[in-house]
Structures are given as C-alpha cells and as structure tokens.
Amino acid sequence: MGEKTKYIFITGGVVSSLGKGIASSSIGLLLKQRGLNVVLQKFDPYLNVDPGTMSPFQHGEVYVTDDGAETDLDLGHYERFIDRSLSQRSNVTTGQVYEAVINREREGGFLGRTVQVVPHVTDEIKSRIRLAAENGEDVDVVITEIGGTTGDIEGLPFLEAIRQFRLDVGRENTLYIHLALIPYIRAAHELKTKPTQHSVKGLREIGIQPDILLCRTERSLSSEIKKKIALFCNVEGQAVIEARDVDSIYQVPLQFHKEGLDDIIVEKLGLICPPPDLEEWGKMVHKIYSMTESVDIAICGKYVHLVDAYKSIIESFIHAGVANDVHVNIKWVDSERVEAEGAGDYLDGVHGLLVPGGFGDRGIEGKITAIRYARENGIPYLGICLGLQCAVIEFARNRCGLEAGSSEFEPDVPHPVIDLMLEQRDRSRMGGTMRLGAYPCTIKEDTLAHRLYGTLEIAERHRHRWEVNNAYRDTLVDNGMVISGLSPDGNLVEIIEVPDHPFFIASQFHPELKSRPQRAHPLFKGLVFAAKALSQSSDDERRASPAMRGD
Ligand code: GLN
C-alpha cells in the first residue's frame, strides 16, 4: 500500500444492471491514462466463496485470473479497460470474508471475544481493501466496486466497511461514487429523479454521503434536472454526471471525460496529474462505429440464450474485428438444435465457427457435428477448451476411425481420447480444484499457432479438468493432426490444428481471457482474418478450393 493511496468506492442504486462494472472500468481507464497506477476490485455480496461453482445461467461467465482465481465477469472488463492483469485480491465475496473470520475463530484468534459483523466482519472487509493496494508497487488509486444494489441485505456489511474506511484513512483519501437510474417516463415525457433521490437517501441513512453521482439515463439531463438532483441528493452541481446510454461500452470513458468526471475525481482526491491521453482509445472507438464490412461467425454452445456466459468471447470478437477492420456479427447456434437437426441449416454461409468452453454432456454431439461441418467445408474454426476436446473427438472419429469420446461424458467409451488428468482422479471437492490460471505453453515451429503468435513461448489461462489423452497422440498425428502447443514438459496438449484447412485451430486454454481492445488476441485475430478472407472470396473460388476432407 502506497503512502498516499486513494480509495474510490462505487455503489449502485435503483436497479441492477446499470453498468456499474463498465463505469468502474471506465474510471479506471481515465485515471490510468492520467498516469496513475490503478487497481480495481469487486466485492460480491453472495455467500459462495467464488463463482466457480455457480452455473453460468446464474452468474454468467467465470473470469479466471493469471493466479488462478475464479472471479466475477466484471474483472474481465477491468482487465480489458486498464490493460493490467489483476489477481485474486481483486474479487472478494461474502463467502471468502466469512470463511476467513470463522477460520480465525476456530483457531482461537479472537481470544475469547464474541465474534460479530461489526467490527470483525467489517475489519476483514477493510483488510481486503488494503490488500488490493499491496501488490509490490505504489498503487495510486484502488477502485472498489460494491456488487448488488443499495438496500440489499447482503450488501450492508460491505457498505458499513466502506463507511468506516473513510474514518480510518481520511476524507481526503476516499471518494464515494454512486451510480443510479434516472428513468424516462414516456407517458409524462419526463425524466424522473425520485428513484435516485431514494437510493441516495438509503445510503445517507447508513452514513454514506455520495461525493459524485453517475446518472444513467436514456435522455440528456437538462441543467435544471441536474440542479434538482444535486439539491435533493446533497451533491455538488458539477458532481452530477450524466451517464447516457451508448452503443459501445468502450465509448463510456470518452463520454465520462466529456462530462468532466475525471477532473472532478482528481480534484476531490487532491491528485496531481496531467489530463488523460485518450487518443488511441478514441481512435479505436471511432473505428468500432465506422467499420462498414462485416463477417458472420457462429458460436455453437449450450448457453447461447444467456450471452453473459460468453462475455469475454464477445468482447474478443470486437477487438479482433477492430484489428481486421471488419465488424463481427455473432450468430448464436444452440448445440442441442444442431444435435437434433444437423449443422447445414445453421452453418451454411457463415464465415467462421467458434465452439466455446463448457461443462456437462448436453449438446456435445451437436458441437461435434458442427465442428465436422466446419472441417469438411473449409469454414475457419477456433475451438476453446471444450471446443478443443470436441475437435479432437471429431477428428478421432472421422479421420482416425475410432469410436472416440471423452470420459467426462461417457465413462465407458472405447477410446477416451479426452480423459481426466491423473491429479484430478481423486478429487472430492468441486470448488477451486480445476487446472486454473496461467500456465506456460511451448509452440511448435512453423505451425499456424507459431505464425499467429509470432513467438514460441506463451502463457495462457486455463479452467478445466479433462485433457487430451496422451495414449492417442500418435494416432492423431499419424492421421494429420498437428499438435502445435504443449506444456513445457511435453506432457499436456495445449493447442491442436488441422493443416489441410484454411484455418482450423483449437486451444485447451481460454484465449478470450487475455484479449484487450487494443491488443486483440492472436487466435481471435487469426479467426476473424480467415473469416474475412472467406467472405471476400467469390462463390466460384469457394467451390474450386481443394476438398477439405483430406480423406
Ligand atoms: N468440461 C471440460 C473440462 O473440464 C471443459 C472445460 C471448459 O471448457 N472450460 O475439461
């Protein structure tokens, strides 16, 4: 923790889904571009220790950090906006806080005292805020987003902790920012401030007076409305900031800057720093809005009705689109439908296919069918985690002639080309026990992976239990598969490709977790490049291209 570390707390009111994560990330970016060293942190008031055991239907994507923490998807936005890898310290849940407090109690750490929410739970929360600032360098600003909506029972200990925190470190070192909704009532042709007034009132009742209000709105706020909000919420007029709906999340920081948000923050915190350099970011946003060409890429998975489950993948396609000057239209394909109806209806005419990660056997055969269609019809393919495993099964079945599968879905399959790693066999606990976090990978020379990455040593993030079964490696390679990425000890298959194809590659790791707006991930960039090439080739060329079957 630096001597002069400043702390910004971001709360949300009125309703959920107002974009608190994007607002926090945008503030992070603005401060970073003013030369400050920024760390972001999310408090999640649920009792799960981490989201790793929650269904994507409940929670959306689980975002994995380099150090192997399974975290909230907002961490993905944080990393993408501030372009910095965060650690497990950046996601704190009620489950973790209580686990720590109860463990200490069992060890006798409270010396006979009664253990209570105030001060013991709140002390633990405050220690986590400080911990976020201790990462070996001088952190100028810690931005802590408090999940949920003010008024939630679960959120109270966190709000109490941030209230106390101001007393601990001083008013001049803390800032409370509250994001609330100003709804537009069509019948009255009016923007309504009352819900925001109420949510601020709720905060003030527990001792928190917001310093800055971010007002999410679909219409522009007039100066009268701003004045009214300022008066009733007890906030300075200039600190009422309009947060108008925009089409791209990457525009939000630019819009906040126009509203003067970062100037007010640095002024209130007494930070001495230059104005933000937003030139490159602005160019990127301009490109997002001005690209005219587009490609269609299918994502075949089982959570396609809940796009939050694939948040980082969607963002990675935006980054890869910008890098290739093309807009990526995602076509969501339900793997269970492909299983029932075949791939043709869904994949005919698309310029690329991605099969993402997943768990459980639902829709597996549909994914395998889709991959076969892409392989045999020259459709660029990128497989991620389960998408690699399905590609290996497909290849083993249709190119090697094996009755192949994964022991995850069929324990007695004759040829388990995907099998459990040795150290996973005796696991009885589910939470946090997968192969998690960043691992090094060595790339084989002169492969597609080598061309895409332009280097032979990479590190990528994992979240899985099953692996390619080494007993089948020779068979796969003898039949034309290239194993282009391995763990440095040569034991684990990390990347595979099929060379007699315009673009067919799959990774056991999750490349989407490391794609950044201004540094598109090489695998996504490559897929979109190949998709663009396919979309530009005429139908005649497509028909004349060599058969993709290779058999
Ligand atoms: N279910 C597979 C495994 O555990 C794949 C996991 C994933 O796609 N993230 O290995």
- For 336-381, give the secondary structure using H, E and C: HHHHHHCCHHHHCCCCEEEECCCCCCCCHHHHHHHHHHHHHCCCCE
410 closest CA partner among 420, 400, 401, 399: 420
Q: Hey, which of 464, 507, 508, 509 would you mutate to test ligand 1's pocket, going by the most ligand atoms within 8 Å of its Cβ?
A: 464
464 ligand 1 Cβ < 6 A = yes
- In this predicted structure, the answer to whether residue 213 has a pLDDT above a threshold of 50 is yes
29 closest CA partner among 287, 254, 247: 254
466 ligand 1 Cβ < 6 A = yes
463 ligand 1 Cβ < 6 A = yes
pLDDT, position 539: 54
CA of 359 to the centre of ligand 1 (A): 6
CA of 507 to the centre of ligand 1 (A): 11
Using DSSP bridges, classify how beta strands 352-355 and 294-301 pair: parallel, antiparallel or unpaired. parallel
Give 119's DSSP letter: I
Least confident among 252-261, 293-302, 303-312, 522-531 = 303-312
Residues 280-302: what's their mean pLDDT? 95
Domain boundaries 6-283, corresponding CATH code: 3.40.50.300
Q: Hey, which of 300, 313, 385, 390 would you mutate to test ligand 1's pocket, going by the most ligand atoms within 8 Å of its Cβ?
A: 385
pLDDT, position 547: 42
170: region left, alpha or beta (phi > 0 left; psi from -120 to 50 alpha): left
Name the segment(s) of the chain with CATH classification 3.40.50.880: 292-421+433-549
pLDDT, position 525: 98
465 ligand 1 Cβ < 6 A = yes
- In this predicted structure, the answer to whether residue 542 has a pLDDT above a threshold of 60 is no
Least confident among 308-317, 426-435, 508-517, 533-542 = 426-435
Q: Where are the beta strands (DSSP E) in 385-519?
A: 404-406, 415-420, 435-443, 457-464, 466-468, 482-486, 493-497, 504-507
Residues 140-148: what's their mean pLDDT? 96
3-state secondary structure 268-324: HHCCCCCCCCCHHHHHHHHHHHHCCCEEEEEEEECCCCCHHHHHHHHHHHHHHHHHH
404: region left, alpha or beta (phi > 0 left; psi from -120 to 50 alpha): beta
358 ligand 1 Cβ < 6 A = yes
Using DSSP bridges, classify how beta strands 466-468 and 504-507 pair: parallel, antiparallel or unpaired. unpaired
pLDDT band at 111 (very low <50, low <70, confident <90, very high): confident
Residue bearing the CA closest to ligand 1, atom 7: 357
Q: What is the pLDDT of residues 32-85, one digit of tens each?
A: 999 999 999 999 999 988 888 888 777 789 999 999 999 999 999 999 999 999
Least confident among 176-180, 364-368, 399-403, 418-422 = 418-422
278 closest CA partner among 256, 299, 303: 256
pLDDT, position 50: 84
| Separation CA 169–CA 244 (nearest Å) | 33
19 closest CA partner among 282, 266, 244, 265: 244
Residue bearing the CA closest to ligand 1, atom 1: 359
Burial of residue 205 (number of CB atoms within 10 Å: 0-12, 13-18, 19+): exposed
User: DSSP states of 128-192 as a string?
Assistant: HHHHHHBSSSB-SEEEEEE-S-TT-TTTHHHHHHHHHHHHHH-GGGEEEEEEEE--EETTTTEE-
Distances, alpha carbon 435 to alpha carbons 42, 203, 312, 319, in Å: 23, 41, 19, 27
CA of 441 to the centre of ligand 1 (A): 18
Ligand 1 atom showing the smallest separation from residue 385 Cα? 8
Distances, alpha carbon 233 to alpha carbons 119, 196, 199, 210, in Å: 29, 8, 9, 8
Least confident among 145-149, 230-234, 538-542 = 538-542
Q: What is the pLDDT of residues 164-185, one digit of tens each?
A: 999 999 999 999 999 999 999 9
Residue bearing the CA closest to ligand 1, atom 9: 357
385 ligand 1 Cβ < 6 A = yes
pLDDT, position 545: 52
CA of 494 to the centre of ligand 1 (A): 13
Ligand 1 atom showing the smallest separation from residue 360 Cα? 1
Give 425's DSSP letter: T
pLDDT band at 511 (very low <50, low <70, confident <90, very high): very high
Name the segment(s) of the chain with CATH classification 3.40.50.300: 6-283
440 Cα distance to chain centroid: 21
357 ligand 1 Cβ < 6 A = yes
CA of 88 to the centre of ligand 1 (A): 21
**Residue 355 corresponds to which tokens in the numbers above?**
């099969």
Q: Hey, which of 300, 463, 493, 513 would you mutate to test ligand 1's pocket, going by the most ligand atoms within 8 Å of its Cβ?
A: 463
pTM: 0.93
pLDDT, position 15: 85
Least confident among 185-194, 321-330, 490-499, 510-519 = 185-194
pLDDT, position 551: 36
Count CB atoms within 10 A of the CB of residue 3.
5
Quote the mean pLDDT of the chain: 92
Please give the single-letter amino acid code of residue 154.
E
Q: Buried b vs exposed e over 335-351: b needs ≥16 C-beta within 10 Å?
A: bbbbbeeebeebbeebb
Q: What is the pLDDT of residues 512-538, one digit of tens each?
A: 999 999 999 999 999 999 999 999 986
Residues 10-34: what's their mean pLDDT? 94
CA of 376 to the centre of ligand 1 (A): 25
Q: Helix (H, G, I), strand (E, B), or coil: what is residue 240?
A: strand
351 ligand 1 Cβ < 6 A = no
Q: Of 542 and 289, which is predicted with more confidence?
A: 289
Where in the sequence numbering do the catalytic residues fall?
385, 510, 512
**Residue 195 corresponds to which tokens in the numbers above?**
């819900």
Q: Hey, which of 407, 425, 465 would you mutate to test ligand 1's pocket, going by the most ligand atoms within 8 Å of its Cβ?
A: 465
Percentage of the chain modeled with pLDDT above 90: 85
- In this predicted structure, the answer to whether residue 401 has a pLDDT above a threshold of 90 is yes
CA of 408 to the centre of ligand 1 (A): 9
pLDDT, position 1: 46
pLDDT band at 541 (very low <50, low <70, confident <90, very high): low
CA of 385 to the centre of ligand 1 (A): 6
310 ligand 1 Cβ < 6 A = no
Backbone angles phi, psi at 335, to 5 degrees: -60, -30
| Separation CA 237–CA 212 (nearest Å) | 9
User: DSSP states of 374-417 as a string?
Assistant: HHHTT--EEEETHHHHHHHHHHHHHTS---EEETTT-TT-SEEE
Which CATH homologous superfamily contains domain 292-421+433-549?
Class I glutamine amidotransferase (GATase) domain (3.40.50.880)
